[in-house]
Structure 1
Amino acid sequence: MGVKFRVAICGGGIGGLTLAVALSRYHDIQVDVYEAAGQFKEIGAGVMIWARTWEILSMLGMAENFARIAHAPPNRSPGIGFDYRKSDQPQEGSRFYLFQVPYGCIRFHRAQFLDVLVSHLPEGVAHFGKRLTTYTNLPKSHGGDTPIALRFADGSTAVCDLLVGCDGIKSTIRKQMLEEHVHTRGGDRKLLDHIDPVWSGTIAYRALIPVQRLVKPGGQKHRTIDSPMMYCGKDKHVVSYSISAGSIVNVVTLASQPQLYGSPYNGPWVTDCSPTEVQECYAGWEPEVQELLKCIEKPTRWAIHELKPLPFYFTGRVVLLGDAAHAMTPHQGAGAGQAIEDAFVLAEVLGHRHTSRSAIPRALTAYERVRLPMANHVLEGSRQSGNMYEFNGPLGDNLVPLGPLIGSQWDWLWDTTPQSERDRALGMLQSMRAAL
């Protein structure tokens, strides 16, 4: 069977690699992954997913491999999503909400997560040292379709029929797409405001702690070893959970200045910092938090950015996926999962037997109609959740009603399923074809 079209995936992170693995099931689609770095790599420490994302990994035949590197092998029994405590006082804090869901919160070391995806990638698909600088629609070929030329920073070029921008929150492809839409197609100039990421006003400190450091000589274990914790306080919160088959605890502490949302952030987004800086930021918090933070040795400081919700994800045969489309704050542990859902739905519509080269725009329309509303909803909901964790939401620190309100922010986890989202996209694809 010949190749019906060529897909270029620019960016080899979680979203790009999931798409490559998902598309590799279709032998009539040529897939190339162009990664700017010299190898596939992830920055950051922990990554979490929820039951709906686990279903996708299972459908793609990777569940067994991912189960080996999770905090514990996932099963359908109810588990703790997060245990919420009020912790911004010197005396012992108290739980004000327990979020439980099937599978609980499934946690991984980010680098190990990426390694599993890489292990499922067919040979010859990956190309390294390929940082895309521009793309250009070429003159129509004899078949009547317009291929896309790619130019990379090293001077090399490539050609594809579909370009997928998986190049992250600072996406080059998003920038060119929006600028062209405004300058050559007469689009609304307000679109240019969606090119650059927005600083959320939040600084995060990230660190990994070996579990043995959180076990006292008498054998008493810190609570977070067995339970994902959310320690909440005014303008700050601390997230911690075990990863790597339970051998490491991932800690992310966040400190916000809500009034600075959208203001310029000067300097590098990620830097090293001292353990003292982290500890001083949470001085006066409950002992359980102090014990956790005293075990941090090599923290990094991150300026948390997000995108303004985009009104569209594609033009022509260029489409955005993952952080390039909807980079979000980490407050619902949803960034990786949303990228994986993008990849799953996009692969399903592209792999459909009726999706030819000329039908690619119809497939992208179906993808966008399903994924854009959902991903933008989660993007905005994640920001709202972060405000609630730091008592800056509509209920402040009124803890009794605050807990259930936080819980309701997660309703998207079960309002639909990945299968129903896929079926909806495929139904749209069929309807568009029937209308021709």
Structure 2
Amino acid sequence: MYTKAAKEFGEIGAGIMMWERTWRILQTLGMAEDLSKAANSPPNGLPGIGFDFRRSDRGVGSQFHLYAPPYGCIRFHRAHFLDVFVKHLPSGVAHFGKRLTSYEDTPDKVILNFADGSQNTCDLLVACDGLKSVIRMQMYKDAQFKEPQLKDIAEPVWSGWVTYRALIPADRVREANGGKDTRTTTTPMMYCGKNKHIVSYPICQGRIVNTVGLVFYPEGEGKTYDAPWVIECDGSEVAKHYVGWEPEVVDLVQHIDKAMLWSVHHLKPLPMYVSGRVALLGDAAHAMTPHQGAGAGQAIEDAFVLAALLGHSTTSAQNIPRALAAYESVRLPFANKTLRASALQGKMYEFNSVHGDNYASLGPALDENWEWLWEETPEEEVERAMKRMQSLGPRIPRSRL
């Protein structure tokens, strides 16, 4: 059973990207053909452009690095990506209009309490309820009775970044360029400057340029963000941050009519994803900054590993905690490493790392910080989790969780 507070499946209209390791999972799930139709530049197994890096905040821009991994950067409109997932979802498993307020974890089941006063039970509760996860907050609140040091660690923190997200019709950009393509209409771009950068890449088969301007406030990192987390703003609000940048950046932001201003919050690396029959997944477990395009992929990896463990012939309703312990042993260290890498990557984009703007060392460091993409395949993660589950014996006592 899948419950969702909203009345239907829906997604904010913006771009989403992923890398080769996530694409492997989608191929395994039989979604590759449909997703290829929705993707911009569908992956063909060959090296492609991940990002073209330019120093752009000094009036005249110049390329300082090119990241070109296998498959490149696979891009979608979020709504189109979600449509494919919904198409492949078995009928009758989704229930809408149900907002979970709390749960009770018992030795043999989980009792679910909803905002409308109703209750239900399940063998396993998987928290996919995002950055502000109600389930994560209760899990850690309950754990504080035994481990007081866990107080407040489950709260989201402001990364110091805000983002301006906008979708620009590509024809508008081409028209302003004499009818010709620009880098922004054809290539995933990373325009870098001190304490600011802009990500842009085409989606919807080149019809839309997904544009995200990011501004970093060092004094706000780790602090409370007192304004609304998401608001709409005019394009002029975006443009003012990029005055004096290279012409193609200035021209690009002039095409933004409206944007959504987001405060970028993330989680601290958590010490546990599992308690009893409850598990955290995706942003509920490891909400991260967007700088490596990794958040959605890590959620899909979580689900891939967890589903393999739960679907194993030795897993039953009685020994679910054993499968969850194996899931946590593999996914927690990997996703936490990615969370840290993503935050570091953003600082490298804005010349705030130990490399500063020493391009000779910065370029290789950017590639190295993405090495987690190639360290282990999702299939190898599953194999390692299976071995861990078998090593735990037929059933793991709740006292060990």
Please tell me the TM-score bracket, short chain as reference.
over 0.9
Gapped regions of structure 2 (runs ≥ 5): 397-401
Deviation at 1:43, TM superposition (A): 2.4
Contact 2:290 2:342 in 1 (8 A): yes
- 1:135 CA drift (Å): 0.4
Cα separation, 2, equivalents of 1:309 and 1:43:
26
Equivalent residue number for residue 399 of structure 2 = none
Q: How far apart in 2 are the matches of 1:298 and 1:73?
A: 29
Deviation at residue 132 of structure 1 after TM alignment: 0.3
Contact 2:322 2:395 in 1 (8 A): no
Q: Which runs of 5+ in 1 are unaligned?
A: 1-31, 139-144
Match of 2:3 among 34, 37, 49: 34
Q: What amino acid is the match of 2:18?
A: I
| 1:112-139 CA distance string (max 9 Å, x none) | 111111111111111111110010135x
Report the Cα distance in structure 1 between the residues aligned to 2:394 and 2:260, rounded to whole angstroms. Answer: 54
Does the Cα contact within 8 Å between 2:200 and 2:209 map onto a contact in 1? yes
Pairing partner for 2:180 from 220, 229, 250: 220
Identical amino acids, percent of aligned pairs: 57
Q: Deviations over 1:383-418 (max 9, x none)?
A: 000000011001111122111111111000011101
Identify which of 208, 213, 221 aligns with 2:167. 208
Q: Does 1:67 align with 2:36?
A: yes
Aligned residue pair count: 395
Aligned partner of 2:59 among 90, 108, 118: 90
SS in 1 for 2:121: strand
What's the offset of the Cα at 1:364? 0.6
Per-residue deviation at 1:434?
6.9
Residues 435 and 340 of structure 1, relative CA distance in 2, 3 Å threshold:
closer
Contact 2:51 2:188 in 1 (8 A): yes
Aligned to 2:205: 245
In 2, distance between residues paired with 1:264 and 1:177?
Answer: 22
Q: Is the 8 A contact 2:165 2:212 kept in 1?
A: yes
What is the match of residue 300 of structure 1? 260
Deviation per CA, 1:330-387: give whole Å up to 9, x if none: 0000000000000000000000000011211110111111100110000000000000
2:216 to 221, 236, 256: 256
Whether 2:149 is the aligned partner of 1:190: answer: yes
Say which SS state the counterpart of residue 273 (structure 1) adopts. Answer: strand
Which residue identity is paired with 2:65?
Answer: Y
Q: Which residue of 2 aligns with 1:55?
A: 24
CA distance in 1, matches of 2:82, 2:334: 24
Q: Give per-residue Cα distances to partners, 1:284-338, cap 9 Å, x unaligned.
A: 1000101111111111101000001100100000000000000000000000000
For the pair 1:162 / 2:130, whether they are aligned, the reply is no
Q: Tell me the CA shift for residue 191 of structure 1.
A: 1.3
Amino acid at match of 2:178: G
Secondary structure of residue in 1 paired with 2:50: strand
Question: What is the root-mean-square deviation of aligned Cα atoms in Å?
Answer: 1.3
TM-score, normalised on structure 2?
A: 0.96
Distance 1:412 1:59 in 2: 20
Query: Helix, strand or coil for the counterpart of 2:269?
Result: coil
8 Å Cα contact 2:309-2:327 kept in structure 1: yes
* C-alpha deviation, 1:44, in angstroms: 5.1
Correspondent of 1:115 among 83, 86, 90? 83
Q: Which amino acid is the alignment partner of residue 363 of structure 2?
A: G
Q: 1:79 aligns to what SS in structure 2?
A: coil
Equivalent residue for 1:137? 105
Q: Is the 8 A contact 2:319 2:395 kept in 1?
A: no
Instruction: Look up the equivalent residue of 2:331 and give its one-letter code.
Output: R
Deviations 1:81-103 (A, max 9, x none): 00000000112x11100000111
- Given that 2:105 and 2:278 are in contact with CA atoms closer than 8 Å, whether structure 1 keeps it comes out as no
C-alpha separation in 1, matches of 2:43 and 2:246: 31
Residues 323 and 200 of structure 1: CA distance in aligned 2, closer, same or farther (over 3 Å):
same
Counterpart-to-counterpart distance in 2, 1:77 and 1:219: 29
